[in-house]
Structure 1
């Protein structure tokens, strides 16, 4: 039983797929390049990203008298909101993040095990399919190691525990946790190997491309503090796609409730022109009801910022909240992939840290000029130090990326810098909760179910 814990996850969530439970149900075995490419083309599986970090995000606010309205189950959200040791208390509960990412890894490993010997004469398709499998595996491990491991720290990464590292489709192996260094090295290796195998762009951006891989490499090196390497890859990504929507060109549909969306703004992932790689939060309504923007986050917005105008609305289709505006995503989903606004911000951060503040300010002004009412936008002046500019970049990350999962990872990485450490605090149901910069609960618990099935997986220390 313990030897098949990963297979159980795959069967439980993807058992209806003709290719994944082949040995158990005798269905079609993927033997050709075309078969393997179909595995990588499954939009519903590979688009899924994290939901857990939305529970712990410091930029939201809950009221105890309203959480019962959270129809999809308030327990994980409330546990995360209170930064409890375990978001999923019940050992029988599934952790969607762990399950989804390891399922993506399993599918990718099946493809990688078979792709070189698969039948077929379309060598371009063979290369692209292999590149997609490498890139998708890398993304899954990037999310897993940042959710369930400490943030990358060159002083401790050789011993800090990451996640189990599966590099083939043999699910009978029991593995313990690889180190953060080992997982990061594998992500880097997969992405660099994938680059020459992929096209520069893809027709549908849920397929990874060279631009997408460059973007994830830029993020990987940013998290490692390797500014020059990050800058190189973000420049490469932006050379492929640097498009930004001008929010002055959009407004809510006249005569319709605001949750109907913006007139002319794309609400299908494949139509979004700022997207290099589509990923989205596993749960589409995690902030759709009874969740508020925190007062501290609200204070970051300046007059005329259309990002706030589009994000705080009077009601969603579930009805209004009891204590104020509803958090709304104009895309109708929470982005978790690679998008041009963050690429501009990554380049700005790298240039700030490399003491090129004038370049960073230029990127901030480019982005902000597309986000403010045209009569309210005031460009930043190029008279700041790198450190002053970095403060602005980090603030802009919070505003621009509010409905994306990166804030939690930013808190973890910035807590490694003594001058940027913060202690989080909030009150719920009459009790105050704190999260210190060194708290173990910045690192999510390994699911209890996984620990029970595989004794080689060591649990993260809890507070």
Structure 2
């Protein structure tokens, strides 16, 4: 109960601060409250974190869900359009228009803070605003990073110089209807890189009362590591991940064993996940993600089903678990036991991680908004970033050390070897429509050697898929590695799956279409 109250209070306070800061920026710049002190800049920067997450869009777009059929009573137009990679016209809490607007509002707050810092430094050169500048730069970079990875094709050296990205905004708006153009994906990445590199030396944790609700040092370096992994700068990704993790990563990984002793209760489990010290950065969102991936029928049409879990994810045979006696139940391999829900109208296999909270705007009418909180960066995921960077650098022993540090903590003390990984993935078939497996064809724009490097990547990608289930990260791996996604639909007559659509290797739909309202303003839509 203590953890639950802490989470509710933290989300409430962050929403109150965001609301109050938004009011300062509702009007044109000449009518805004002047940001003329260090205290006001810090309060403004609370609003530099987006309040809408793309996690639901990303997760439903990935191969982590199955369509349980057109006649399933718990679907809606928005989730159907997302899951079938259609241009999204439906509205809802997690729609792309809300994500776009929340992201650019956060960017506007970052830019306004940077402008205020510039003014204050001119007036008082002695004032130290370097930490505030760092937070403004890193939050601006982060929002653009999320935008370009949703609305653009993934970065690569072949086509990103011409692929459409998103507008990279570096100045506060000074006109009522400013005109913007889409930067290329390469240009967006260049700007993100510049902001990150300028920010990193300036980050200071001591300006924050609760560091993991801001871009503290660990969070900033974890972001820099993930960004450089996506940017194909493997050595930098490794370097920055090491900065985030410190000398003894195992000491800061999530205590997964704790989950084994907890009551099987959604509030207890999700709040334990969110309040862990292993989380580098938590952000509160308005979102239905906790409904979609909680024990609810609502939004249940597109779910992580038991069959999907058996074939491809948490219960699928893998290099860590195949040495276990055949009769040992799959669930006993995890400290954090997957929950299987299989009753009428509900087929979900869940890792209870995503909290569902409801904020009433009218308690009498019982209407309001669904809320959640997610760790944007945490130690386990950052360790896998470093492992992947090492694989791509062909430092296989170092990569295996990191993978074993993670697996021995996430599973019940399970480790493996490079030879065992090679043997397992050489013997497992690539996934097909008729026989889905965890091993997907990899088609990245960068080179991957057949044999050990590819096999280690399969193991790494499977580890991340399980670790980040329900959080949307799988979508970015699908884009980065050119993985095809068949959309399976349950056929109610035969209880079999059929493929009703397919996202191919270089499918243009991997760049989510811009919101229609944004296209109408003149921004060029994504090609189809």
Task: Name the residue aligned to 2:253.
Answer: 244
Are residue 413 (structure 1) and residue 480 (structure 2) matched?
A: yes
Task: Name the residue aligned to 2:455.
Answer: 388
Question: Which shifted more, 355-364 or 118-127?
Answer: 118-127
Size of the aligned set, in residue pairs, is 424
Task: Name the residue aligned to 1:346.
Answer: 385
Partners of 2:284 and 2:334 lie apart in 1 by: 22
Task: Name the residue aligned to 2:467.
Answer: 400
Task: Name the residue aligned to 1:438.
Answer: 506
- TM-score, normalization by structure 2: 0.73
Which digits, 9 at most, give the CA deviation of each residue in 1:347-403, with x for residues without a partner?
111111212211111111111111223xxx431024353332222111111111112
Partners of 2:344 and 2:117 lie apart in 1 by: 51
Partners of 2:247 and 2:259 lie apart in 1 by: 25
Are residue 356 (structure 1) and residue 395 (structure 2) matched?
A: yes
Please list, as runs of the form range in 1=range in 2, the aligned pairs for 1:35-50 lying within 5 A after superposition: 35-42=40-47, 45-46=49-50, 48-50=52-54
Q: Secondary structure at the match of 1:83?
A: coil
Please list, as runs of the form range in 1=range in 2, the aligned pairs for 1:219-298 lying within 5 A after superposition: 219-239=226-246, 242=249, 243-251=252-260, 253-254=262-263, 258-262=265-269, 266=272, 269=274, 271-279=275-283, 282-283=286-287, 284-288=290-294, 289=296, 290=300, 291-294=302-305, 295-298=307-310
Q: Are the structure 2 counterparts of residues 214 and 240 from structure 1 closer, same or farther at C-alpha, using a change threshold of 3 Å? A: farther
Task: Check whether the contact 1:212–1:277 (CA below 8 A) recurs between aligned residues.
Answer: yes
Alignment RMSD (CA, Å): 3.1
Which digits, 9 at most, give the CA deviation of each residue in 1:110-136, with x for residues without a partner?
111221213887967622211111111
Task: Name the residue aligned to 1:110.
Answer: 112
Task: Check whether the contact 2:81–2:88 (CA below 8 A) recurs between aligned residues.
Answer: yes
Task: Check whether the contact 1:22–1:28 (CA below 8 A) recurs between aligned residues.
Answer: no
Instruction: Report how far residue 36 of structure 1 moved.
Output: 1.5
Partners of 1:222 and 1:368 lie apart in 2 by: 21
Please list, as runs of the form range in 1=range in 2, the aligned pairs for 1:25-424 lying within 5 A after superposition: 26=31, 28-42=33-47, 45-46=49-50, 48-50=52-54, 51-64=56-69, 68-69=73-74, 74-84=76-86, 86-89=87-90, 95-118=97-120, 126-170=129-173, 172=175, 173-200=178-205, 202=208, 203-239=210-246, 242=249, 243-251=252-260, 253-254=262-263, 258-262=265-269, 266=272, 269=274, 271-279=275-283, 282-283=286-287, 284-288=290-294, 289=296, 290=300, 291-294=302-305, 295-299=307-311, 300-301=313-314, 302=321, 303=330, 304-306=332-334, 309=337, 311-314=338-341, 322-325=345-348, 327-330=350-353, 332=355, 333=372, 335=374, 337-373=376-412, 377-383=413-419, 385-415=452-482, 421-424=483-486
Q: Secondary structure at the match of 1:391?
A: helix
Q: Are the structure 2 counterparts of residues 117 and 330 from structure 1 closer, same or farther at C-alpha, using a change threshold of 3 Å? A: same
Q: Which has the higher strand share?
A: 2
Instruction: Report how far residue 253 of structure 1 moved.
Output: 4.4
Partners of 1:285 and 1:25 lie apart in 2 by: 42
Partners of 1:379 and 1:200 lie apart in 2 by: 35
Q: Are the structure 2 counterparts of residues 98 and 406 from structure 1 closer, same or farther at C-alpha, using a change threshold of 3 Å? A: same
Q: Are the structure 2 counterparts of residues 362 and 124 from structure 1 closer, same or farther at C-alpha, using a change threshold of 3 Å? A: farther
Task: Check whether the contact 2:51–2:102 (CA below 8 A) recurs between aligned residues.
Answer: no
Partners of 1:241 and 1:327 lie apart in 2 by: 30
Partners of 2:469 and 2:285 lie apart in 1 by: 13
Q: Are the structure 2 counterparts of residues 240 and 189 from structure 1 closer, same or farther at C-alpha, using a change threshold of 3 Å? A: farther
Instruction: Report how far residue 210 of structure 1 moved.
Output: 2.4
Could you tell me which runs of 5 or more consecutive residues in structure 2 were left unpaired when the two chains were aligned: 1-17, 315-320, 322-329, 356-371, 423-451, 492-497
Q: Secondary structure at the match of 1:95?
A: helix
Q: Are the structure 2 counterparts of residues 297 and 179 from structure 1 closer, same or farther at C-alpha, using a change threshold of 3 Å? A: farther
Task: Name the residue aligned to 1:449.
Answer: 517
